[in-house]
Structure 1
Amino acid sequence: MALPRVISTIPSTGEYGDIQANPITNRVYFTNPDVEGGNVRVLNAITNKIITSVNVGRRSYYLGINPHTNRIYVPSFRDGTVSVINGRTNRVITTIPVGLYIDSIGVNVRTNLIYVPSAVNETLSVIDGRTNRVRTTIPIKGRPSRIIINERTNRIYVTNTVKDSVSVINGSTQAVIATIKVGSNPVIPPAINTITNRIYISNNLSRYLSAIDGSTNKLLRNVQLGRLQSEVVANPRTNRVYVASAQIESAGKLFMINGSTNRIISTMMLPDSTGLFINPNTNHLFISDFTNNKTSVYNASTLKRIAMFPSVAGIMALNPRTNRIYVGNYGSWDDKKNSASTITVIQDSV
């Protein structure tokens, strides 16, 4: 099996927010969350060239994609709107008001519904992707923050960082069917195993990981880590969960957890300021070390390092059809407006 390798480095500018790929059109989208006016840049993944930049709202950090309709949804944290981009023309076709302070966005590709939380309004807006209108607004008291969707069961999970809970929404009725108490400050994006129907909530201020049984909407036994958490990812194919405890200014550990037993089976030390990414196709775990500006690739079963890329560290996205991973490297800043940022394209092995 060939090792992962860098095949292209694409120059860009500015800070990166979210990065996502449309595997059908082979386009990659990444946000530039400027305070005054954000934009989304579009990368042609065939030529590895940035083909355009689309202006969106202020502090547009996150984005969601429906590959089948070729629509890109970009919420604005400051403006309280969602910009809808036509992926064929690369133009904003409408802007939908939803509410201020949006921490995430979720797209259910099967139902063509888009879910957007507003911390100020304490609501979850449900946008109909066919009409580009808000179909309904679901009240979620507190601060609805992170979203993850199980498209197989049509259930939407929303973390609440004030109530330290997870709201479960029935995607057919758009009603909250359960509220599950988890650990303190679940502000970290959850992970999900759609095969076992288990949802993993990383608690930023508690020393345990919360695991939810999606079939019963009950909390399973908490996974005691003894440390605070910063990130969680899962590989549904191997039924392994990976949790990082490294913080911005302190080193930590990587915990590999058996998804069947919720028991820790291996650990590894991590430096401070790290990011995790799993490629389920290859079972490779990518760990970005932001402090030392490098990314290491591990066999996710043995935690043995198989590759290391210097001067590569940032948010990652996978195109599952081409098995290419796109890394937004922040680079070294010259000033607040210009930086030596790049997009690194890694061809993962098959």
Structure 2
Amino acid sequence: MRKLFVSRATTLVLLVLTATGSLYGQTRQPLSLVDTISMPNVKGRLDHLYVDVGSQRLFVAGLENGSVEVVDLKAAKWLRTIPGFQKPQGILFVPPLDKIYVASGDDGMVRVFSGKSFRLLDSIKLDRGANRVTYDWRKKLLYVGYGGKDAGQDYGEIAIIGAASDKVVATVQVDAHPAELLLGDSGEKLFAFIPLRNEIQVIDTLNRKVIATWPVSSKSPGDAALDESSQRLLIGTHTPPSMIVMNARTGGEVASLPTVEGMDGVYYDTTRKRGYVSGGRGFDVGSVFVYQQTGPDQYKNIGEVPTKAGAGTSFWSPELNRYYVAAPAHNGEQASILVFQPQP
């Protein structure tokens, strides 16, 4: 009897230790994969994403597929394809106007679609290289980056478009093609990231002119995020792969940490004070590097979460508390959206 009792007790202890380790052990990742949503017949590189929070839809730029893919997040299934693009990249959805904006790099167009019927409503002609799109919710203005070497120019441009009219109301010239555009909550400053010059240009949106140019210590700054609470810019760079943190008021660099190769997405989780950097574009592996902010100028890597080969771009939705990563088709596997939930 005593031998049986010891065996049972030992088994119970082992079960408790195993459960405790799985819950609180050091192997616990800051992001947990909760779903994988396949997108059939979507080939090649995937680019930017955007979430329609109200209807729980995800719009995905199928850059090499010439399409925009629509994913039903609530049902966790692919919904439909919007075809007919030439290198679709930047995507934005404006709920009050029920409009989807898609910037295409090869033909320099910004196409406007109905959010309900997906019918083409308008086309706005810019120039080749049309890419990033951001929006001023107060003034109802879109900012779209384009130009540079894609357009045969030694400078880049940012178009300012009235969302109600879908007309270009002004343009701002920058040093080269802008790979990323970030607008502060106040709408007074627009940050344009210029990979070719390894710099950030700060634009006064009221006067519509560049008021500062800040150098970045690593080469090819691209995707970035703005932490409004501490006024810090989290910047992904390619050479070397780094996550640079800069003071958004002064342009001073305050931190630099290694990051994932093939970086193609940077977001900031305000609730948890975390930065998410996704990458893997052009590589046989992909991952998300997660950084915990412990002070205004202090950051540490708390996890490297595996994704899939070539999975570069991503999107963080604080409203849905989900982080979405776009994985292209690879080795017989369909293209998919990896859905992650942050862990406390």
TM-score normalised by structure 2 residue count: 0.73
Segment drifting more, 61-70 vs 161-170: 61-70
- Residues 135, 10 of structure 1: alpha-carbon distance in 2 compared, 3 angstrom cutoff: same
Give the Cα separation in 2 of the matches to 1:45 and 1:116. Answer: 27
Identity %: 17
- CA-CA distance at 1:347 after TM superposition: 6.5
Q: Name the one with the larger helix percent.
A: 2
Q: Which ranges of structure 2 fall in alignment gaps of 5 or more residues? A: 1-22, 24-30
Q: Larger Rg: 1 or 2? A: 2
Q: Which residue of 1 aligns with 2:330?
A: 332
Shift of 1:224: 4.0
Shift of 1:49: 4.3
Q: Deviations over 1:261-317 (max 9, x none)?
A: 42344565x5xxxxxxxxxxxxxxxx34324x9xxxxxxxxxxxxxxxxxxx66444
Equivalences for 1:75-114 in 2 at 5 Å? 75-114=103-142
Q: What does residue range 227-238 of structure 1 map to in structure 2 within 5 Å?
A: 230=263, 232-238=266-272
1:31-70 aligned at under 5 Å gives the runs 31-34=61-64, 38-70=66-98
**What is the distance in 1 between the residues matched to 2:340 and 2:260?**
31
The count of corresponding residues between Structure 1 and Structure 2 is: 304
Q: How far is 1:149 from its partner?
A: 1.7
Match of 1:201 in 2: 235
Partner of residue 290, structure 1: 308
Report the counterpart of residue 48 of structure 2 in structure 1. 18
Residue 183 of structure 1 is matched in structure 2 by 217
Give, as a single letter, the amino acid of the residue that structure 2 aligns with 1:142: A
Q: Residue 341 in 1 paired to residue 335 in 2?
A: yes
Q: Could you report, residue by residue, the CA deviation over 1:110-161 in whole angstroms, capped at 9, with x for unpaired residues?
A: 3221111112352111111111011111111223221122223432111112
Q: Residues 233-312 of structure 1: matches in 2 within 5 Å?
A: 233-241=267-275, 254=289, 256=291, 258=293, 260-266=295-301, 270=304, 287-291=305-309
Q: Measure the CA separation in 1 of the matches of 2:51 and 2:131.
A: 20
Q: Tell me by how many angstroms 1:72 deviates.
A: 1.4
Asked if structure 1 preserves the Cα contact closer than 8 Å seen for 2:288 and 2:307, the reply is no
CA shift at 1:259, angstroms? 6.2
Q: In the alignment, is the contact (CA less than 8 A) between 2:36 and 2:339 conserved in 1?
A: yes
Q: How does 1:72-151 map to 2 (within 5 A)?
A: 72-118=100-146, 119=148, 120=151, 121=153, 122-151=156-185
Structure 1 unaligned segments of length 5 or more: list them.
271-286, 294-312
Give RMSD over aligned pairs: 3.6
Spell out, residue by residue over 1:137-190, the C-alpha distance to the aligned partner (whole angstroms, 9 max, x if none).
111122322112222343211111222211112233322222212234334201
CA distance, structure 2, for counterparts of residue 17 and residue 42 of structure 1: 13
Q: CA contact under 8 A between 1:221 and 1:262: conserved in structure 2?
A: no
